[in-house]
Structures are given as structure tokens and as C-alpha cells.
Structure 1
């Protein structure tokens, strides 16, 4: 049985710090969580990893591109609490606002006031491009207005032209929908080989087949769009195994899945994220484990993932 952490864990101390502006580019590094399967920890990975990077001193902007708006919810930005004038990623795609106008500070719920209204505290360095349930209409929009298809690539182009400037230590994390529709493609084709697509796989399911499909889809995107309208070189460099076995979550099938992925993708598997009930609580509590439960399995495991990805702590605690 596979009951140890990934072999890549032993190498994390040797991973060099990530170049956030590789090859002299001017827009932030992009990491996208993508896999055409629901419930595979894309949102959990985005929000937990994003929180850890923010607490380490990186400026993190989460793009909530899933119509379910779960990243926004976890970051204390439920749709029902949105101010009427607050712009969203839907407005951004349509060209009705700037990136900053659609971006709000991430926050977590600390309690309730005497009238039952939620109280929040902002997470330093963490921001979210506000989600919107209207994203269900994005594929129709992009089909009827093909000039909007390059919305994300045009956004990166604003940095290239000098119209916008990346903040020091800024990273973008994309929480993508569980399909390869036009919205997903429109974001992925703006990525270069210096960026990264991370597929989170639940070892409790059948997502290993979905991983093979993802690789084929990325290759198809490169063939169709590269050198035409965008870089279109989104690359999978790492695979993230989630809900890996523990003493109380120990079916043989889970071990078999871990061993299969390790065998098929040698050297690509990140430190394992163990199964834990703590992760599911973040939706209801509107607070990620690194803040609410810093010693929990998800917090500890995603800290190791951050190390393995080349994001050292920029603000280590004294002593």
C-alpha cells in the first residue's frame, strides 16, 4: 500500500524560488486549476493555496471563473452580500470594467453582529476577481461576440503595453469550471509555458482518466491557437493528488489510484493532500483552513505543495 507522502516531498527543499516575471514578461505568473470533472478540489486548491501564498507575502489574485462562484464564497464574497455597484468577472469579460474594478479583497467570517449580519476580516495580500452566476452565459457571449474571446489574453496584453503594471510578488490563480468550453479555453490560451496548469485529482474517484483527457485538450488548444491569436502553450508540470489515504480513509482503491498516477506521471506528483473533513467546512464557515485550522492536514499539506511549487515564505516568522 502507498501510505507515505509523495517521493517529490523530499525534493522540496531543493526547489528554486519561482520566477514571477519569467523571460522579462510584464504580467503576473498564472497558475490555473483545471480538470473537466466536478468536485475534484479545484476550488479548495485555489483558495487554500492562495491563502498560504498570501500569508507568505505574495500578492495573490484569484479569478473565480466557475459559475458556482465557490471561490468567491469561501473568500467571504457570496453573491447575496455583493454591493449593487460591485463589478464582477462577468463585467470584465464583457469589457464593462477594469480588472481592479472587478477585484475585491478576500476576507473571512469572524462572527455575527447583534442583528445577525456576518462580520468579516480581510486576508492580507489576497484578492478575488468577484465571481458571477451569469458566467453560465459566457459560452453564448463568446460565440456571438468572437471579439470577446481574447478577453483574458487582452488583459495580459495591457501589462505588455505598459497600460498596467504587475505588483511586486503578484501571482494569479484561476479557478476554472469543470469543462473545456469557450470560457475555459479563453483563459488557458493566454498562458505560456512559464505558467502552469495544475489538475487536482481525487484519488477516491476516476479522475485519472480525466487527466489524460486534459492533456489531449491542452495539446489541441496549442495546435489550434498557438502563434495565431495567443501564446496558447498551457502546460501541466505537476499533478496534485487530493483526498489521499489516511488511517481512517484507507480503501485499497485509493492506494491503487495513487500508485497508478505515480507510475504514469513520474516526477510530476506534488506532495499529497490527505483526506480531511476540514476542507469541506470552509464553504459554510467562509474561512480557509490556513486561517481557521493552521495545524490541520490540508493546511500542513498545502504548505508543502507551496514549497514544491517554488514559493518560499517571503515573510518568515521571527524566532
Structure 2
């Protein structure tokens, strides 16, 4: 029953937050310098009659609240509006590009989880030279922004050595081609987060290694591999899982830079291009989707934490 109440309360909080975010996202258009009609015209001059026609078509003369209510109502019915730059429905633009971005983020997330957990585990358990090498490597990873990693990987592995494609997503050549084209972007996207997750995992496991319940387990003669997996790593997962929200938000934000560097043609690159051309409907739709995804991930994390670590109750987060 507590689970149901907590889930319902969080869903209501998400709805309220999304409503507030939608207001901010829509209102941001009015903070941009210039008249929206000038962006619609692309800098071309127009007669007063033409400007009036644009104002009527896009309801630019309506009160702000009325425009917001109309836009929000359309969003609730799945209508994100029409792109100013591409002259097509925003929903069509997103549906054609979203699979590429989701695949890229998914590949990067796999790299982050597998390498981050493995390096953190090895550093905490093995110690010595292994731990020192991992600390040096993760320091380098954390200090390398995604766009710098993208440039380095693209210049060396793609252009210099020719091992990977330097641009594009390979979306027209099947899933195998897409995986091959997105390998370098996924590594560039994951590098910083691998270092961060490895550091968090290492710290959480080192803390558990010195805890009383681990000493008791060892005194009972439990094999060391079981002590590490069942008593150290499992209890460290609560602290590790709390970083998932930061990992997902970083992936969503950095994909804009990485997709642009590799000309992937996903939602991230679309957001960058639409921001440059002041294509407000596209920017508003993508921004709102990112907020919704981030809140959904955080809800899932809160629901999973008590399952991973029974010491945590619903509504609380592990402190490490």
C-alpha cells in the first residue's frame, strides 16, 4: 500500500513539475530577442499585410496565457505543432530522428554501466597498482568533456586510422551499420560518465569493505567472492543507483554536442540546429521531452532503491 501511495504521489508531483516546465519552456520564446514574426520570415522584409497574416496564422497577437493554453492542449493531444524551418509536423521530425538518439544513448549507457561498475569493482577489491592505474584513468576520463572526446576519437580512429565512420548514423543500411556508425559517438558520450561511475562504485565498495557486517561474514568463513558480491557490491548498489539520474541527464544533454560533432542526425543535432534557426516549436517539444524523460528516470530509481537495498525506504535516497 505504501508503494502505491508513493507512486501516486510521485506521479502527481511529476505532473505538476511538467506543467511548470511546460510554462517555462513555452514562455522562453518570449524572452528571445526580436519579434517571433521576424524569425518566421527568416530575416526577409515583408509588408504590414504579410506580417498581419503571420500574426493571425500563428496567433501571435493573442494573450500569452491563451497561446500557452492552446499549445498545452495540443501537446496533450500529441500535437507538438509545425516546424518553422522544416515546414512539417514536429511529431514527424521527432519520430524520424528519435530512434537514432535512443540507440546512441542506449549504447553509451551500456558502456557506462559495464565499464564503470567493472573498474570501480576492480579498484576497490584489488587495490595497489590496479587501483592506482584506475584512478589515473578515471581522472583522465572525468577531465575530458564529451565534445573534446568526440574530436579526438573522430580525428584519430576515424580520420587517421579509418577504423570507424567519421560521420552519419548509417540508419539506411540496417541495424548493424547503425551500431558501427554509432560506436565512436557512444564512446565519446560515455567516457566522462565511465570515470564518474567508476569513482562512485569504488568509494561505495571501499566503505562497505570496512563495515561490520562484512567483518562478520568473513569471520564465519564465507568465501571471499561471496562476501564481495553479496555483502559489499550489493550494499554499495544503493549509492551507485542514486547517480543514475545524473548519468541519464548528462547523456541527454551531451548527446547534442556529440551528435553535432559526428553529424549523427538525431534529436540532439535537431535541437542544436533548431536553436540556431529559432525554430521554437521544435525546441519547445524536445525540451519538454527531455524534462519528462529525466523525471521518469528519477521515479524509476526511487522505486528500485528499496528493492536493491532493503535498508532504504520509499522516498529516501542512499547517502553512500
TM-score tier (shorter): under 0.3
**Alignment TM-score, normalising by the size of structure 2:** 0.24
Q: As a proportion of its length, which structure holds more helix?
A: 2
Report which of the two structures shows the higher radius of gyration computed on alpha carbons: 2
